[in-house]
Amino acid sequence: MNIQNLVSQLSMSSNPMSMVLGMLPNQGLKQSFTSLMNSSSDEERAQKLADWCNEKGITREQLQKMLSNNRF
């Protein structure tokens, strides 16, 4: 699925959060995503994403490549 298709489906969904959670393969990722989305500010979300990447050993370059390839 490409990112444009996903964004289109999410915009038409009556419950996009539930749709995204249904796509995640395990409970840990679901909890991480929920925590990230419930953060109060963009800065807090960015920090949580950085912490998650550090925990998983994902470098900035790898994250940029995943995002540019629409693979996340």
Q: What is the pLDDT of residues 12-22, one digit of tens each?
A: 888 877 877 88
Tell me the whole-structure pTM to 2 decimals.
0.47
> What residues contact residue 41 under an 8 Å CB cut-off, 6+ apart?
none
Annotated domain spans of the chain: 3-68
Alpha carbon distance 12, 21 (integer Å): 16
User: Do 37 and 17 touch, CB atoms closer than 8 A?
Assistant: yes
pLDDT in tens, 10-47: 778 888 778 778 877 888 888 877 887 787 787 887 88
Q: Which two structure tokens, joined as six digits, stand for 9?
A: 């489906």
Amino acid at 13: S
Alpha carbon distance 38, 72 (integer Å): 19
